[in-house]
């Protein structure tokens, strides 16, 4: 097999995630090299909010043009509308999908934060769920990659942060986590904790190599979560969370939505068979109920 070029952003976390995939491919006898791609999101100042798909679009362009052979994304960042020439060739083993609370001084949890404590996150979903549970807290948007936000926390720009546990673990910063938040309290973003490895639809050689990395249970879970988001008309910036788990032949779906200020919230829990047909049915039911109970931003 030819030497494969893995496209990735140049951030520390993105490079670590690309190395995870590279290691898995090398262990199966495939030679790979990592190619850094500068995205529009990387060109922006660290204090600027990033819209949907900004980090993914540049990688997709390079992949479609044949500059790289596959691209590694955080699954939660992949827009619902995918490039017509590309396909997700593998969803490898998923890391912890939960969100995590980190405090500046350590040793706390969400329930124990002082009234008026400032919680930093650039996610309307995280902000809405946290304020629903603790309306006495102050939500402050904090932008930038994980390392940037941790530095802002240490400088005193917030008393606590909410970040994805998987990213912290992959960066070796899991020891800073004060609390891994119950998905019932802060329901994760669809696809959170999972990696999505994208390749060209017609590149059979690469698709065959990626098939060995694909975890069918993870693929079904992420598809279910993304169907919930699509059913609510949302994007990766919407205050909608979904977490699906597959145990044997059963599929369990937890989905929730919140007003960004925490003034409204609704949680749905459904169980069915672990099939594509049931995934679509459960996601449709969940999305319909969330739209009936929470007025989501357009």
Q: What is residue 171's DSSP assignment?
A: T
Place of tokens 């919407």: 238
Which residue from 210, 170, 194 is spatially nearest to 32, judged by alpha carbons? 210
Q: Which two tokens stand for residue 203?
A: 């590149």
**Is residue 119 classed as helix, strand or coil in its secondary structure?**
strand
Residue 77 a catalytic site member = yes
Q: Where are the alpha helices (DSSP H) in 33-111?
A: 40-43, 54-64
Which tokens hold the place of 107?
């040793």
Which residue is catalytic, options 42, 47, 69, 77? 77
Determine the Cα–Cα distance for residues 206 and 204; give it in Å rounded to an integer: 6
| Nearest C-alpha neighbor of 186 from the set 156, 162, 208 | 162
What torsion do the CA atoms of 63, 67, 70, 72 make, to the nearest 10 degrees? -80
Q: Which of 26, 74, 33 is nearest to 196 (CA)?
A: 74
What is the set of active-site residues?
77
């Amino acid at each position: 097999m030819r030497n494969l070029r893995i496209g990735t952003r140049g951030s520390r976390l993105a490079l670590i995630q690309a190395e995870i995939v590279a290691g898995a491919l090398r262990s199966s006898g495939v030679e790979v090299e990592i190619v850094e791609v500068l995205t529009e999101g990387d060109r922006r100042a660290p204090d600027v909010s990033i819209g949907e798909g900004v980090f993914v679009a540049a990688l997709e362009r390079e992949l479609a043009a044949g500059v790289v052979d596959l691209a590694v994304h955080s699954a939660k960042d992949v827009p619902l509308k995918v490039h017509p020439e590309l396909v997700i060739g593998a969803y490898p083993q998923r890391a912890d999908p939960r969100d995590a609370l980190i405090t500046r001084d350590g040793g706390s949890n969400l329930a124990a934060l002082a009234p008026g404590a400032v919680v930093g996150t650039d996610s309307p979903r995280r902000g809405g769920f946290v304020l629903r549970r603790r309306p006495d807290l102050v939500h402050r948007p904090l932008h930038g990659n994980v390392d940037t936000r941790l530095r802002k926390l240490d400088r005193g720009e917030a008393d606590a942060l909410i970040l994805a546990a998987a990213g912290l673990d992959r960066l070796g910063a899991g020891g800073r986590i004060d609390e891994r938040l119950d998905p019932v309290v802060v329901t994760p973003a669809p696809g959170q904790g999972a990696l999505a490895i994208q390749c060209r639809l017609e590149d059979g050689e690469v698709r065959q190599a990626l098939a060995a990395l694909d975890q069918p249970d993870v693929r079904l879970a992420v598809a279910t979560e993304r169907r919930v988001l699509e059913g609510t008309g949302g994007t990766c910036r919407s205050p909608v969370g979904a977490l699906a788990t597959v145990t044997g032949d059963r599929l369990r779906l937890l989905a929730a939505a919140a007003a960004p200020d925490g003034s409204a919230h609704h949680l749905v829990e459904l169980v069915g068979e672990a099939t594509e047909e049931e995934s679509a049915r459960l996601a449709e039911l969940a999305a319909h109920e969330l739209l009936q109970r929470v007025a989501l931003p357009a």
